[in-house]
Amino acid sequence: MATPLNFRHLYYFWVVAKEGGMSRGADRLGMAVQTVSAQVRALEQELGHALFKPSGRALVLTEGGEAAMALAEQIFQLGEALPAAVREAATGVGMRLRVGISDGLPKLVVRHLLRPAVADTGARLLCHEDEFDRLLAELALHKLDALLADRAAPTNNPNLRLYSHKLGEAPLAWFAPAALIDKLGGKRRARFPACLAQMPVLLPTGHAAVRPRIDHWLEREGLRPDIVGEFEDSALLAAFGRSGMGAFPASRLSARELLADPGIVQLGNSPDLVEAFYLISAERKIQHPLVQRMLDGLKNATPG
């Protein structure tokens, strides 16, 4: 039977690796450098491989150290989550769900996507919006429980053990401020989609996976609209559209919320211009129960 791993030694190694050196690690631990160094050497002897190597005046991880660090991150992140999990279970306070929201994802759609996870669960939802690549890194380090995005995770990096699950898709519709339509009242307004060439238009930037498809659709329709604004954040795009700046595309899942504003009208639908939505999760021994609930919902969904 293998000797149980000394987790105190592993913890000292983890702190030194995160701090980038023995001295800084010892300062954080409030211990002598010699003591910490001896504990790390004991772990190396226990594992049978060096975990650090010198690089100038600093220490860097060996390949074995990188592997140990990846697992230590998971172990001690679970340890940090233990008190909160016990407290939530004992007091009945709902568990936390930390979700990354890609800046290219339509914000009016996010509530629809998260509904299966938070409906009737009493969960405390923590949403963090950022660029797609940054959120992927946080998910890989288990700083997030899941990531909602408009694209799948890349598959060209074997070190990122991420899994993409398609939640669904929805066609885009086009909306415009009623005041803008009134200004065109003196002209003979063309039918949709030709009318887009008669008014200023707002579009998402290339951050959104759907932008190249919009450009292709406009080209195919022979339209060259006056693009007066491009936005990384879809909520900001809709806000400027509502303010009267121009016509704009949005998921049809957002139509009810948008049309609740009497100052917005729907110009038309583009059913062949489709936006996809993904739930991305990281490989874990124990999956977050609310993320698992969303994944189970996908498995049990009726095709079509």
Q: In the chain, helix, strand, coil percent, each to 5? A: 45, 25, 30
Residue 6's pLDDT is what? Answer: 83
Distance CA 280, CA 182 (A): 43
Residue 201, pLDDT score = 97
Per-residue pLDDT of the chain (304 residues; tens, 9 = 90+): 456 778 889 999 988 888 888 988 889 888 998 999 999 999 999 889 999 988 877 788 999 989 988 888 888 877 776 776 666 555 545 578 889 999 888 877 888 788 777 776 667 888 999 889 899 888 888 888 899 999 999 887 666 678 898 888 899 999 999 988 888 774 557 889 999 999 999 999 988 899 999 999 999 999 999 999 999 888 889 899 999 999 999 999 888 889 999 999 999 999 999 999 999 988 765 567 778 777 776 555 433 3
pLDDT at 1: 42
Q: Distance of CA 180 to CAs 62, 231, 264, Å?
A: 62, 20, 10
The answer to whether residues 12 and 51 touch, using CB atoms and an 8 Å cutoff, is no
Beta bridge partner(s), residue 149 = 278
- Give the up-direction half-sphere exposure of residue 103: CA atoms within 13 A in the CB hemisphere: 15
What's residue 58's pLDDT? 78
In this prediction, residue 177 carries a pLDDT of: 94
* pLDDT given at position 304: 35
Residue of 110, 138, 100 lying closest to 234 (CA atoms): 110
Please state the separation of Cα 293 from the chain's center in Å.
18
Give 85's contacts (C-beta < 8 A, 6+ positions apart): 95
pLDDT score of 267: 94
Continuous H helices in the chain:
7-19, 22-29, 33-47, 63-91, 107-118, 132-140, 178-183, 211-220, 234-242, 255-259, 289-300
Cα–Cα distance for residue pair 248/64, rounded to 1 Å:
52
Write down the pLDDT at residue 227.
Answer: 96
pTM: 0.64
Question: Which pLDDT value is given to residue 263?
Answer: 92
User: For the chain, which domains are there?
Assistant: 7-83 (1.10.10.10), 94-167+278-300 (3.40.190.10), 169-274 (3.40.190.10)
